Structure 1
Amino acid sequence: MKEQHWCPLYTSFQRLLLLLVLLCLSPSCSGRTWAQRKLPCDVISLNHSLAYDCSYRKLLQVPHDISWNATELDLSSNQIKILSSSSFWNLQNLTLLDLSYNFNPQEHPLKIEDQTFSMLDQLEALLLDGNGLCTVPRGLPSGLQILFLRYNDIRTVTPENFRDIPRIKVIRLSDNCQGSVCNGTLDIANHTFSSLTNLTNLTLSFNRLKAIPHFLPPSLQLLKLERNLITHIHQHDLSALTNLNALDFSGNCPVCSNTPFLCFPCNTPNGALQIHPDAFRKLSQLQELRLSGNSLKHLQTSWFDNLTNLRYLYLSFNRLVGEIANGDFLSVLPFVEVMDLSYNNAGQNSHNLKLSKNFSKLASLKTLHLENYVFSALHENHLQPLYSLANLSVLNLGTNFIYWTDLSLFEKFHNLSSVGLSENSLTFLSKRADVLSVNGYGWGYEPDIDRYGPLIHMDIFYRRHLPNIKPECLAYGPVLDLSKNNIFHINPDMLQGLNNTACLNLSSNFIGDMFNGSEFVHFSKLKYLDLSQNKVYLRYEHAFSELAALEVLDLSYNKHYFLVAGLNHSLAFLENLGSLKVLNLSWNEISTLTDKTMSSSSLQELNFQGNRLDIMWNEDLDFNNLFRELNNLTSLDLSYNRLHHIPSEVYDNFPKTLRHLTLSKNRLEYFNWTTLTQLPHLEELDLSKNQLEQVALIFSTLNSSLRLLDLSHNRISQLAPGFLRGARSLYVLNLSFNLLELINQTTFESGAENHLQQLSLQGNPLHCTCDLLEFHLWMRSNEVELPLLAIGVTCDMPMERRGRSVLSYDIEECVKDDNAMAFCILTLLLVVHVLLVSLTAHLFYWDLSYILDYCGAKLKHQCLLQHTDCVYDAFVMYDTTDPLASDWVLNHLRVELEERGERVRPLCLEERDWMPGMPIMDNLSNSVRQSRKTVFVLTEGFLLRGVVKMAALLVQQRLVEEGVDAMVLVLLQPQVLRRSRILHLRRRLCRRSVLEWPATAGPAAQRWFWHHLKRAIRKDQRATHASLHGTYFTGR
């Protein structure tokens, strides 16, 4: 009973102490840091700014505990329904406020009350995109400089809307009337923007405007009118915008035959945008002009006469084939650096490319995009006007359905570094085969020129580079893009002329070559080779050996021949690539290789995801050493390999130089954590999205350099106490989306032993009870970043708290006031008691010792005087006809119990103490009644005697009548009653009353036997079955 009451008492007392410590520590800890971590926001402090990122948090209102000195607040993509002046009453220092996308189309739009933002005097940027607003909010702060109102439902704007913000610089009002939901147009009143003398950036795209707004301020530097319904640009529409740098008129009169959007052709004589000859005359500062998607057939020279600063000209998706062949406008564009003339084909197919001789006058041209002109062959004379352009570095001829070209013609360019021939029909078989194709054997159809995204090539990176080229490819130098062609064989004779190429993209072709080291002999400077999405067959060890400078080789998505049974697949070529650093073998379904080991002294990164290591690491195969000889490997990605387990030999054969190991997205149920000792340089380990159920890891047992450990999306339900003990280098731990229900304080380290900087726990079914108090204490006392703590780390139990944050309940609920008072008093009494006992023991040690000894002796004497009605200590039954038994009883047992130690009463022996002449039954009955215990010394044949059975019945009768078990069995011989069920039952019920003489053991074991025998005789033992017998026989 004491234990049952003490355990809850101890637990509650422990909780009280934890709570007291927590309350004491709270003022000393960084209260501001804890308050920030309780918010459903990420807090970023940089120099003098304090930014709160509360986006994508499913918030219904503005959080109340945001610090007063916050300078930036992002509340985008939430579910806030209403805003008022009280929403930001204490945030007067805000300079940026993002409230975009708080509109739910199935409910009402975001409601913003008047004067909501008027108190935010320091506010410079206000973002209200995608909120379903019908009007511009009133009471905007006078210092506002940036206002975003895109993707709303504003139909009318007037000067009154912007009267309070004279300092505004950027207004974006695009996408307020677009699609089938808007049948009208955005109505812009006259002089709406005229008073905004600081306005430099105005976006009015996607609003179905039918004319350029009047009275625009001269301060404008960027004007975007993309995808409206403007059909005319008159002489004076833009004459006042003398400071304009960028003008976008794209998509006002699109070619509607292949547009993937709601298209309205222009109601003009030729269906094209009508531009006055002097429309751009006053725009002398213009640097970027976009006229794409306007059905233009002719370009007047007068448009560009005064555009002396024009650098970027976009003319794609028009009908300018004639202008490309004969245009004079090119002669007045000496400073243009980027020109896009793509998708100007009106449906006619040409065998040859025709370029105007005036292209040679584009002295500053650096990038030329000429996609979808559609011609079958590219000869040397076709690019004649471009050869003299010393600055031309990027030439994009993609999607032209070219069947033949000679790459040597590109040697005539002075500075060409990137050639784009992607999405053509090149084969590079032989000159004869390609000529046959050009003459009709492969040109019997009209190519499909439909293209999604008619207004492409508008991002800033596309000005300088080819589209769809990986940045890491561009970083190596000159690029040749031959991706998405019809190449199925590499002919070295046909790949000549671009010997300086550093990056060659051959992806998405039909290449099925068995490379033997002769295919790329003309690319001696090649460093990046992309052969992904082909049908490459790796068989010869000399493959790619001609590429001595190759650093990156991409062979991903080449599974065709790896799935064919019986073929040899060799990776021995790696030994010959002394400069190779990155190898991508992903998504090839590799299940077997000719070579059991990959060998390379230079390879640093290997991507091996999407293969079949679950087959290769089977017990019957011998691929456990597959990565052992990659002596310089630092990054290894083995995700998506369907691994259920990893053999222990594989762990031992991982390269010792590994720094990044990825095993995510497999089916691992166990991970051998001791392998970390074999990887002394490992810094990042990704085990996410597996089926791990426990982490039997304590870092103190390892000497690991691990910095990041990702265990997210597993089935981990518990962590070992002291899990992170000794993890001095681990900074990031991700345990999100597991099955953790309870987290103890001992799981993670505290104070100086805690080195964690970020701990992710969102998505776990935590039980928000008082057992989680220790975790609260740990969170408060350790400044560890817990992402999405306020909204992602939620309760699963109890039901009333399910889905709510672990911070949503008060931890002081765990200790009630009356219990706290009782525990306080109990603690005080306990302390006083300990002090008194310690002081008394120190001053009166010998007196207390004497008193305790005296009391102990008295109690012992009283115990020995009990049961004085017994004449003998024990009645010994033994086989008097057996010399061995008689000798042992008379010379050993009697001597030990009567002559040695403390003698209480003598033994009753048949040969010595029975009355001569008295019947055996009387002697037997008296001996059993007058003795405390009856000892049966069992030997072979002794139990067959009737007197033994009678004595056992008399002892059993005492058990029934007195409720005292008086039987003691001594097995003198080890083989006696080995199969007796009665003996086994007695061992189970009265274990201490069955003893066995250790005949073959030493003196120590015999002394231990005598001790137990004396104890069994002199101690009354009330049998567990005594009450049962008594109830049965007496009927009680």
Structure 2
Amino acid sequence: MLPTLWNFWTVVAMIGLLKEGCSAPEPLSCAAAGVCDGRSRSFTSIPSGLTAAVKSLDLSDNKITYIGHGDLRGCVNLQTLMLESSGINTIEDAAFDSLGSLEHLDLSNNHLTNLSSSWFRPLSSLKYLNLMGNPYRTLGETSLFSKLTNLQTLRVGNTVAFSGIRRIDFVGLTSLDELEVKAPGLQSYEPNSLRSIQDLRHLTLHLREHAFLLQVLADILSSVTYLEVRDTSLNSFHFSELSVDETTSPMKKLAFRNAALTDKSFNELLKLLPYTPELSEVEFDDCTLNGVGDFHPSESDVVRELGKVQTVTIRRLHIPNFYLFYDLSTVYSLLKKVKRITVENSKVFLVPCLFSQHLKSLEFLDLSENLMVEEYLKNSACEDAWPALQTLVLSQNHLRSIEKTGEILLTLKNLTALDISRNSFHHMPDTCQWPPKMRFLNLSSARIQVIKACIPQTLEVLDVSNNNLDSFSLYLPRLQELYISRNKLKTLPDASLFPVLLVMKIRENAISTFSKDQLDSFPKLGTLEAGDNHFVCSCEFLSFTLERPAVAQVLVDWPDSYLCDSPPRLQGQRVQDARPSVLECHQAAVVCGICLALLVLILLVCGLCHHFHGLWYLRMMWAWLQAKRKPKRAPCRDVCYDAFVSYSEQDSYWVENLMVQQLENSDPPFKLCLHKRDFVPGKWIIDNIIDSIEKSHKTVFVLSENFVRSEWCKYELDFSHFRLFDESNDAAILVLLERIEKKAVPQRFCKLRKIMNTKTYLEWPLDEAQQEMFWANLRTAIKS
């Protein structure tokens, strides 16, 4: 049984290995500028063939466990190397020897348990280094960064293994600008370990416990401008005097993120203020206060007024015992000189009137994402509250009435900017009252349907983005900036409403076009954002945008945000690249051209018809159709003529004075049909011709040069051809008054030419002795 299981698992393992071997990684893709992207390609080693042309190489999220000394040898001009989360556990000492130009190196989140100074010794140009997230316990056995004299940003540490910071760790980092140390499991800290770094702008510490915080502070107070403490529990923090030099600390900002505090530890933190006389900004993000607001600050004058702190920011503060919280009266005196306060997303529903009155220096107050309503806002903005306040942000609270909000804020005589966006106002009254100095009003995302005169006339900046507006017709004489994106406007607002407008953003509306005249009507407009609308790429719109270079200077989001929505042929194309057809843009000219071409074509056809006798053929075709609808032969009782005579008018003398006399006065006499004499007056000539032929036994054609030149009696008698030549008999008798060459007969008289070739015809003799024989033969032909 055991061998069988062993064989089974062996087969499974081999299949897995085969599958892994068969799935070849995707090739490395490099751009022309030497930027190579190899992220998430399943590479198991550094790709081969890398040359000096490579300047940026990203191999993050692969399966590269080993970097050899020759893997990057050809990358002598490499400036950026990204190896984040690639499973690296081994790097040879000489692996980076050829990377003297490298400025950015990311080795974070790999499996490096030991760090070697030989890796970084050749990297004299390095400015950014990230070693965070590797499972090392210390930063190498010797000083890792002593040769990195140009290093500006350094990130080190991990969440579990990193346990000790030593004096040698940061030696040589004279130009360091930003340092992040992740050491929640820190167990030891050698004094003066961070003191060697001078002029550090930003230090970020991830410390789970506060045990080493005071030691770190003692080292960095003389060099750090911005200190950020993350993921720290300060519940039991106790301040003890710091042994620091007399040099004044340059620290200007102190931030606590994801920290836990109590009323008592907050009091202890306040004792830091005498050591940071330049501190002007304090920030608490995602912090938890395990207390009820029972603060008892020190009685010293410095602590009583927070020193020089002017900005206090609190975001997402969680107070588990909020229902027991005090009225903050113990900290009123601390905030007298504070100018900027932000309390965001912290369930604030009331600022007590007495507290507001103590904030005498407050110029900026942000209470976004809280629970403020008009009733409590009235208590907060009571008489003499916030006397210096210039900017008030009440975004995303529970305000419902614009009219009440404006009336409540009348007590704020110096208020110039008000943000009440992301509230649910819906209705806007016709008139409202506002503080007299209002210059900025933000009403975006407030579900407003219509803009009315409730908006103050003193505004210089108005934001009504992301509402339900389909028009804007309010006169604002001082307005300089209008933000009205994400509404339902179909055209640009009337420029006469904003005589001094400088900036307008009207993206994502329903605008289909705008013209040169519309833009020119805004005399001072310098910035316009109108992209992501439903543009109809008409000829006028395209010619305006393509032929006016100044458009690109005004339209700051040109050209990528301007796409054609119609016509369908251009849908999705950039307006800049769209090219309409000639027919769309020059319809009048195209129609005139087509009409002119048709006229020329008609004239050409008419000329060709005249030259090739097309009209004659058409008339003959019509006569043939007329003849076809009649019986092929009239009944015998209707035949009343012996012969129908077809002749030219110029040969009428011979026909009427000789032929008629000889045939009608003979014995027996012949009855002839002549068009002058026997056609029915008022009847269509074609019908007369066809009827006469049908009522005659024979048809006599008197042919001559006159007959041919007159186009066969001006076409009138030629219609008889069809009836005559459709019958296979001898009904046609040809009489030639004079000799006619067959080639002289026009090609269109194809039937006549055929008869002259296949049938016998009579020739009129000039010799009088032979004329009697002619008449006898003609009589015989008619009788046959």
Distance in 1 separating the partners of 2:716 and 2:309: 108
Alignment match, 1:363: 277
Alignment of 1:139-288 (within 5 A): 139-140=73-74, 147-165=81-99, 167=100, 170=103, 172-177=105-110, 184-185=111-112, 188-189=115-116, 191-194=118-121, 202-215=129-142, 216-220=144-148, 223-227=154-158, 229-233=160-164, 235=166, 237-238=168-169, 240-241=171-172, 243=174, 245=176, 248=179, 250-253=181-184, 272-278=185-191, 280=193, 283=196, 285=198, 287=200
Tell me by how many angstroms 1:391 deviates: 3.5
Q: Which residue type is aligned with residue 736 of structure 1?
A: L
Alignment of 1:628 with 2:455, yes or no, is no
Alignment match, 2:367: 506
Cα RMSD (Å) of the superposition?
A: 5.3
Alignment match, 2:443: 585
In structure 2, the CA distance between the partners of 1:133 and 1:231, relative to structure 1 (3 Å rule), is closer
Q: Which residue type is aligned with residue 373 of structure 2?
A: G
**Contact map agreement 1:591 1:611 (CA 8 A) in 2:** yes
Alignment of 1:569 with 2:485, yes or no, is no
Q: Which residue type is aligned with residue 552 of structure 1?
A: A
Q: Which runs of 5+ in 1 are unaligned?
A: 1-78, 89-93, 178-183, 254-271, 418-477, 563-567, 618-625, 699-718, 744-758, 773-855, 863-903, 905-921, 931-946, 963-1017
Alignment of 1:958-973 (within 5 A): none
Distance in 2 separating the partners of 1:531 and 1:542: 15
Alignment match, 1:736: 563
Which of 607, 612, 615 is matched with 2:468 structurally? 612
Alignment match, 1:901: none
Q: Which residue type is aligned with residue 277 of structure 2?
A: A
In structure 2, the CA distance between the partners of 1:396 and 1:690, relative to structure 1 (3 Å rule), is closer
SS at 1:161's partner residue? coil
SS at 2:297's partner residue? helix
Range 376-385 or range 576-585, more displaced: 376-385
Which of 727, 731, 734 is matched with 2:548 structurally? 727
Which of 286, 291, 297 is matched with 1:375 structurally? 291
In structure 2, the CA distance between the partners of 1:505 and 1:675, relative to structure 1 (3 Å rule), is same
Alignment of 1:28-427 (within 5 A): 81=28, 97-99=34-36, 102-103=37-38, 105=40, 112-114=47-49, 116-117=51-52, 126-128=56-58, 130=60, 132=62, 134=64, 135=67, 137-140=71-74, 147-165=81-99, 167=100, 170=103, 172-177=105-110, 184-185=111-112, 188-189=115-116, 191-194=118-121, 202-215=129-142, 216-220=144-148, 223-227=154-158, 229-233=160-164, 235=166, 237-238=168-169, 240-241=171-172, 243=174, 245=176, 248=179, 250-253=181-184, 272-278=185-191, 280=193, 283=196, 285=198, 287=200, 290=203, 292-299=205-212, 309-311=222-224, 312-323=226-237, 325-329=238-242, 335=249, 337=251, 338-345=253-260, 353-355=267-269, 357=271, 359-370=273-284, 371-377=287-293, 379=295, 381=297, 386-387=303-304, 390-396=307-313, 398=315, 399=317, 401=319, 403-406=325-328, 409=331, 411-412=333-334, 416-417=337-338
**Contact map agreement 2:39 2:59 (CA 8 A) in 1:** no
Alignment match, 2:485: 639
Alignment of 1:542-561 (within 5 A): 542=407, 544-559=409-424, 561=425
Alignment of 1:695 with 2:559, yes or no, is no
Tell me by how many angstroms 1:142 deviates: 5.2
Alignment of 1:418-437 (within 5 A): none
Tell me by how many angstroms 1:531 deviates: 1.7
Tell me by how many angstroms 1:490 deviates: 6.5
In structure 2, the CA distance between the partners of 1:631 and 1:553, relative to structure 1 (3 Å rule), is same
In structure 2, the CA distance between the partners of 1:1034 and 1:658, relative to structure 1 (3 Å rule), is farther
Distance in 2 separating the partners of 1:373 and 1:627: 49
Tell me by how many angstroms 1:280 deviates: 1.4
**Contact map agreement 1:520 1:546 (CA 8 A) in 2:** yes
Tell me by how many angstroms 1:276 deviates: 3.9
Distance in 2 separating the partners of 1:210 and 1:513: 56
In structure 2, the CA distance between the partners of 1:599 and 1:289, relative to structure 1 (3 Å rule), is closer
Aligned residues: 570
**Contact map agreement 1:598 1:630 (CA 8 A) in 2:** no
Tell me by how many angstroms 1:585 deviates: 1.4
Tell me by how many angstroms 1:368 deviates: 3.6
Tell me by how many angstroms 1:104 deviates: 5.2
Alignment of 1:655 with 2:498, yes or no, is yes
Q: Deviations over 1:216-272 (max 9, x none)?
A: 24234654213354343265652754748468563333xxxxxxxxxxxxxxxxxx4
SS at 2:392's partner residue? strand
Distance in 1 separating the partners of 2:716 and 2:420: 83
**Contact map agreement 1:365 1:391 (CA 8 A) in 2:** yes
Q: Deviations over 1:400-433 (max 9, x none)?
A: 536444479455568x54xxxxxxxxxxxxxxxx
SS at 2:139's partner residue? coil
Distance in 1 separating the partners of 2:200 and 2:373: 47
Tell me by how many angstroms 1:925 deviates: 9.5
Tell me by how many angstroms 1:590 deviates: 1.6
SS at 1:376's partner residue? coil
TM-score (norm 1): 0.46
Q: Which residue type is aligned with residue 584 of structure 1?
A: N
Alignment match, 2:357: 496
In structure 2, the CA distance between the partners of 1:288 and 1:321, relative to structure 1 (3 Å rule), is farther
Q: Deviations over 1:491-542 (max 9, x none)?
A: 6444122222222212222223178896474334332221211232122574
SS at 1:339's partner residue? strand
SS at 1:558's partner residue? coil
SS at 1:211's partner residue? coil
TM-score (norm 2): 0.59
Tell me by how many angstroms 1:141 deviates: 5.4
Q: Deviations over 1:590-615 (max 9, x none)?
A: 2257xx4356443233222222234x
**Contact map agreement 1:586 1:610 (CA 8 A) in 2:** yes
**Contact map agreement 1:145 1:169 (CA 8 A) in 2:** yes
Alignment of 1:811-850 (within 5 A): none
**Contact map agreement 2:503 2:528 (CA 8 A) in 1:** yes
Distance in 2 separating the partners of 1:684 and 1:505: 28
Q: Which residue type is aligned with residue 214 of structure 1?
A: E
In structure 2, the CA distance between the partners of 1:526 and 1:247, relative to structure 1 (3 Å rule), is closer
Tell me by how many angstroms 1:484 deviates: 2.4
**Contact map agreement 2:444 2:466 (CA 8 A) in 1:** yes
Distance in 1 separating the partners of 2:211 and 2:477: 63
In structure 2, the CA distance between the partners of 1:382 and 1:629, relative to structure 1 (3 Å rule), is farther
**Contact map agreement 2:483 2:505 (CA 8 A) in 1:** yes
Q: Say which structure, 1 or 2, has more relative contact order (CA 8 Å, 6+ apart).
A: 1
Q: Deviations over 1:897-947 (max 9, x none)?
A: xxxxxxx9xxxxxxxxxxxxxxxxx9x9957988xxxxxxxxxxxxxxxx9
Alignment of 1:873-888 (within 5 A): none
Range 210-219 or range 541-550, more displaced: 541-550
Tell me by how many angstroms 1:161 deviates: 0.9
Distance in 2 separating the partners of 1:500 and 1:1019: 114
In structure 2, the CA distance between the partners of 1:189 and 1:217, relative to structure 1 (3 Å rule), is closer
Q: Which has the larger radius of gyration?
A: 2
Distance in 1 separating the partners of 2:311 and 2:500: 40
Distance in 2 separating the partners of 1:725 and 1:232: 64
Q: Which runs of 5+ in 2 are unaligned?
A: 1-25, 583-606, 614-649, 651-670, 694-712, 729-750, 752-784
**Contact map agreement 1:627 1:655 (CA 8 A) in 2:** no
Q: Deviations over 1:555-577 (max 9, x none)?
A: 21111x42xxxxx6336346x55
SS at 1:327's partner residue? coil
Distance in 2 separating the partners of 1:132 and 1:141: 19
